[in-house]
Amino acid sequence: MKFGHFDDDRREYVIERPDTPLPWINFLGNQAFFGLISNTAGGYSFYRDARLRRLTRYRYNNAPLDSGGRYIYLRDDDSSKYQDEPAYWSTSWQPTRHQLDEYQCRHGMGYTIIRSKVAGIESQTRHFIPLGENLEIWELTLTNHREQTANLSVFSAIEFCLWDALDDATNFQRNYSIGEVEVEDGVIYHKTEYRERRDHFAYLACSETLAGFDTQREAFLGHYNGWDSPSAVQAGQMSNSIASGWQPVGTQHIKVALRAGEQKKIVFILGYHENPKDDKFDPPGSQTINKRTVKPIIARYLKPDEVEAAFQALRAYWDKLLDKFQVNTPDPHTNRMVNIWNAYQVMVTFNFSRSASYFESGIGRGMGFRDSNQDLLGFVHLVPDWARARILDLAATQLPDGGAYHQYQPLTKRGNNDVGSNFNDDPLWLVLSVSAYLKETGDWSILNEPVPYDNTPGTEQPLYDHLQRSIQFTLDRIGPHGLPLIGRADWNDCLNLNCFSDTPGQSFQTTTNKEGKVAESVFIAGLFILAATEMAGIATQIKHPQEANTFTSAAQEMEKTVWEAGWDGAWFRRAYDNFSNPIGSKECEEGQIFIEPQGMCVMAGLGIEDGRAELALDSVFNRLTTPHGIVLHQPAFTCYYLHLGEISSYPPGYKENAGIFCHTNPWIMIAETKIGRGDQAHDHYLRINPSARENISEIHRCEPYVYSQMIAGRDAPKFGEAKNSWLTGTAAWNYVAITQWILGIRPTFEGLQVAPVIPSAWKRFEVQRTYRGIRYKIHVVRTGPGNKTLLEVEGKTLEGTTISFPPAGTKEVSVIVKIGGD
């Protein structure tokens, strides 16, 4: 069952009814000011940091689930004439949930448009954040389809958050006394704590003259009413309240008379503004906000033609970004995800890491070291400069021993001490992201950038030194079998082999009571081989052949160890526990086979020549693959095991306990391409492709236009149900799997490689890819079975599959690829 449809021409998903199984959201903004917006206008806005600069209040895990938003109410001031119609309703359905005659929500690239119609009154609200601005526009267009004049009241409503979202939800003895606002020329300014150390404020402005406003929540809602029945809306009358403590809100009242057929635009702006520290009050010495600096911005964006121009600029921006990689294959789900939604989601994960979504509260985790490095893999071609800056930020949180803070706060860029380090895979991901950046851009200068350790001035070393220490970090932590020690956990945060936690409430991520000298990870071994091989490539390019040899030998040495201690006969083992017993082995009763090492070891090149890779991938297919994707392991853990930690804390089939943790599925897709099985690779791709799951939205339940972190596995009662949409490494890895390995268009140190491993039924596909400023127009045709490729570049037959860099000044390169046959 579907709740909407894709409009690929406009790059939108169109939701056709408001009561989707879960709120289906979109993200606004991509530089400093951000908003989360659901299909019923729920969500919140913030400046840079979802915890520390939250502008509006949102209540997670409430009933109804989506509570708090940017709401517009309409009131029919002649309602006595239309007895059977509601006197007032919400244009986005929530929060009043009155029946709408028509409803449609269009989520697009950085904007959301919600349209509805009740009793002949149509409203359409376009929400977006203009490029480079710290404000969110809601442009409301009202149309009167009745035969007579409609007298309407329009109400805008938001609830201000007192900046620090955690404090806002906990510290009521203080919060109930500190709320302050100012209202001037119809603009509501939220200035809690401006009197002391804040130089910033929020505001809500409107293009129309107000009939009234309220800024004290109780005055607007009434003593015991909720957002579904504000007494001011019911009465059609505001009380011009000025908040003093309690809950400051921004609500405005506009009266509109619309003749039959008449249309009217009203613009609302929700903004954030910073003043110079020494010029924050006007007049100086007063406690009144200096508004001179913000007024020109407000005046500009209250003009409908400026709004339209800003919207067109946003569209053009996304056209240009997405144009960097466009594909046309026989499969619509592939096309849609690669050309539109997967690339868009990768931008969102780049911006937010795991901080703010409808599953991440914005007050928990900051940026993850491992997460952000992986997000970069799918993002780097979109805005390479931002990727560069991010790499340097990440590396600056690295510790002198090569380890890394697991997370850091985006506003301060400091590592989070409460989580700390010792996730032993973390530093290796930095090697992969830097290598991807180098292959994409050829900007070798980044390796010489001085970057501090632990953000300590004076400790700066070239980025290259950070990469060397990342590799050394693994080599310094080798266990009894010669495999890397796991530390707190590896990629699987919940495989906590040194934790042994028996106390409720203890954090599995940070509590450790074993020294950690025994438990080892085969997964880290695979990742190490991959990273060391990348390092060898980098060292060769910068002409350090001896170092390249050292990295290669380290990789070979580790490979030997994996075959000795990490191979189980038909698949790779997962780990060794604190008693040196294998995990992910046929010897185990539960958790016999895990997906992660199969993907990682084959990606690192293991077993490709001698058939063992094929054996491992067949085991994955036979034991782990379901119609909804590949589960993490089987059999699921049926009870809590002290020596395994959080993984066994989840009920079977959920999350890391045998859920379909989508992030890992693309590793198997890539591995399948490594052994030349395009049908299998694309089959795995389609099982979790959100668009391909659109028809089962009542089972999947999350948005059909983005990947979710997890789909419940076959052991769960809700098999096939997705959770934790948007902020997941799944986005970047799927993008890499489909574009670089299945379609086979891959940046390398030597040029663009074209080596598709596609389904046997595909007769052709075309790609346009901008790479280092040059447009590659690639036409692939199948001339027979198999993956053998023959490239013709600008009419000339090429040896091999890598197109070396064309002479300076080249704008376009045309490539014809014959695949299969002879």
Which residues lie near ligand GLC (CB under 6 A)? Answer: 354, 368, 370-371, 491-494, 509, 646, 655-656, 709, 728
Q: How far is the CB of 499 from ligand GLC (least distance, A)?
A: 11
Half-sphere exposure of 140 (CA within 13 A, CB side): 27
List beta partners, residue 67. Answer: 59
Helix (H) or strand (E) holding 283: none
Among 584, 450, 477, CA closest to 522: 584
- Return the amino acid letter for 341: W
Residues in the chain: 822
Q: How far is it, in rounded angstroms, from Cα 383 to Cα 30?
A: 12
Among 323, 291, 304, 349, CA closest to 126: 304
Q: Quick one: 24 or 491, whose CB is closer to ligand GLC?
A: 491
Measured in degrees and rounded to the nearest 5, phi and psi for residue 84 equal -85, 5
Q: How far is the CB of 490 from ligand GLC (least distance, A)?
A: 8
Q: Quick one: 136 or 493, whose CB is closer to ligand GLC?
A: 493
Distances from the Cα of 646 to the Cα of 592, 639, 723, angstroms: 17, 11, 18
Half-sphere exposure of 630 (CA within 13 A, CB side): 30
Q: How far is the CB of 11 from ligand GLC (least distance, A)?
A: 27
Q: Is 493 in the active site?
A: yes
Q: How far is the CB of 492 from ligand GLC (least distance, A)?
A: 5
779 and 766 Cβ atoms separated by less than 8 Å: yes
Distances from the Cα of 485 to the Cα of 23, 494, 515, 551, angstroms: 41, 15, 11, 19
Q: How far is it, in rounded angstroms, from Cα 684 to Cα 472?
A: 35
Other beta carbons within 10 Å of 92: 29
Q: How far is it, in rounded angstroms, from Cα 816 to Cα 810?
A: 17
Do the bridges between strand 25-28 and strand 582-583 make them parallel or antiparallel, or are there none, so unpaired?
unpaired
Q: Quick one: 364 or 717, whose CB is closer to ligand GLC?
A: 364
Q: How far is the CB of 406 from ligand GLC (least distance, A)?
A: 8
Q: Quick one: 76 or 493, whose CB is closer to ligand GLC?
A: 493
Q: How far is the CB of 507 from ligand GLC (least distance, A)?
A: 9
Residue that is written with structure tokens 């005055």 in the block:
219
By beta-carbon distance, which residue lies closest to ligand GLC? Answer: 493
Q: Quick one: 239 or 511, whose CB is closer to ligand GLC?
A: 511
Token reading at 326: 């466009």
CA dihedral 46, 48, 51, 52 (to 10 degrees): -100
Q: Quick one: 89 or 661, whose CB is closer to ligand GLC?
A: 661
Cα separation of the two ends of the chain: 45
- Return the amino acid letter for 740: Q
Q: Quick one: 329 or 407, whose CB is closer to ligand GLC?
A: 407
575 and 486 Cβ atoms separated by less than 8 Å: yes
Among 766, 726, 665, CA closest to 327: 766
Give start and end residues of each alpha helix (H) in 152-230. Answer: 165-168, 172-178, 217-221
DSSP code at position 583? E
Q: How far is the CB of 645 from ligand GLC (least distance, A)?
A: 9
Other beta carbons within 10 Å of 816: 16
Helix (H) or strand (E) holding 371: helix 369-379
Distances from the Cα of 288 to the Cα of 53, 283, 543, angstroms: 21, 7, 62
Q: Quick one: 232 or 494, whose CB is closer to ligand GLC?
A: 494
C-alpha dihedral sign at 80, 81, 82, 87: negative
Token reading at 680: 């299998």
Q: How far is it, in rounded angstroms, from Cα 822 to Cα 819?
A: 8
Angle at 435 between CA 431 and CA 441, to 5 degrees: 145
Q: How far is it, in rounded angstroms, from Cα 3 to Cα 434?
A: 41
CA dihedral 203, 318, 7, 664 (to 10 degrees): -100
Q: Quick one: 293 or 510, whose CB is closer to ligand GLC?
A: 510
List beta partners, residue 187. Answer: 184
Q: How far is the CB of 354 from ligand GLC (least distance, A)?
A: 5
Q: Quick one: 494 or 604, whose CB is closer to ligand GLC?
A: 494
Q: Which of 375, 493, 568, 577 is catalytic?
A: 493
Q: How far is the CB of 369 from ligand GLC (least distance, A)?
A: 9
Distances from the Cα of 593 to the Cα of 479, 622, 820, angstroms: 21, 11, 34
Q: Quick one: 368 or 666, whose CB is closer to ligand GLC?
A: 368
CA 376 from centroid of its chain's CA atoms: 11
Q: Quick one: 368 or 759, whose CB is closer to ligand GLC?
A: 368
- Which residues are identified as catalytic? 493
